[in-house]
Amino acid sequence: MTISQIQEELIDEFSMFDDWMQRYEYMIDLGKSLPIIDENLKTEGRLIKGCQSKVWLNAELKDDKIVFTADSDAIITKGIIAILIRTFSNQKPEDILNANTKFIDEIGLKEHLSPTRANGLVSMIKQLKLYAVAYQAQLNNS
């Protein structure tokens, strides 16, 4: 599936809920499906700066696609990163770079984009895109 297809799918799933509590419960459930980062990869270098909770993110290039794994010590954060990883993992660096993140707003998680959330979500998206930049450069040089 393309990134925008996955985003449409997520918007669909979240539109089933009438209130924030159900949305958050669903997000917490999604967090349980997060592809968990290897314990030994939970290093200082893989920590995302700017989050109140700890978020570790790892990226690997498999063929021409990036595979992300992650973990967090807070479950809501884990849910958020699960949503991001479902959207961006197993995608080409170029597609990740060109993708927009408007769907976050549409699934009702806009408040997490605000700087008062210590920029957690914004930092995560930035980090995902930085990996895409790096692997894109690597692919261009090989």
Partner 1 sequence: MPFDIEKIRADFPILKRKVNGYPLVYLDNAATSQKPQIVIDSIVNYYSNYNANIHRGVHSLSQEATDAYEIARQKLQKHFNIKNAYEVIFTSGTTHGINLVASGFSEILKKGDEIIVSALEHHSNIVPWQMLCERTGAILKVIPMNDDGALIISAYEKLLSEKTKLVFVNHVSNALGTVNPIKEIIRLAHDVGAAVLIDGAQACSHIKPDLQALDVDFYVTSAHKMCGPTGIGMLFMKEEWGEKLPPYQGGGEMIKEVTFEKTTYAGLPHKFEAGTPNISGGIAFGTAIDYLNSINFREIEAYETKILEYATKKLLEIEGLKIYGTAPGKTSVVSFNIEDIHPYDIGTIVDKLGIAVRTGHHCAQPIMEYYKIPGTVRASFAFYNTKTEVDALVEAVKKAKLMLT
Binding site for partner 1 (CB under 8 A): 20-21, 24-25, 28, 52-54, 73-77, 118
Separation between Cα atoms, residue 98 and residue 106, nearest integer Å = 19
85 labelled catalytic: no
Q: Which stretches within 16-119 are classed as H helix?
A: 20-32, 75-88, 93-98, 103-106
Which residue number, 27 or 125, has a Cβ lying nearer to partner 1? 27
Residue 141: both structure tokens together: 């040089």
Q: Which of 27, 37, 48, 51 is catalytic?
A: 51
Which residue number, 38 or 73, has a Cβ lying nearer to partner 1? 73
Burial of 49 per CB tally in 10 Å (0-12, 13-18, 19+): exposed
Minimum CB separation from partner 1 for residue 15, in Å?
Answer: 19
Minimum CB separation from partner 1 for residue 12, in Å?
Answer: 23
Separation between Cα atoms, residue 23 and residue 91, nearest integer Å = 26
Minimum CB separation from partner 1 for residue 106, in Å?
Answer: 18
Known catalytic residues are 51
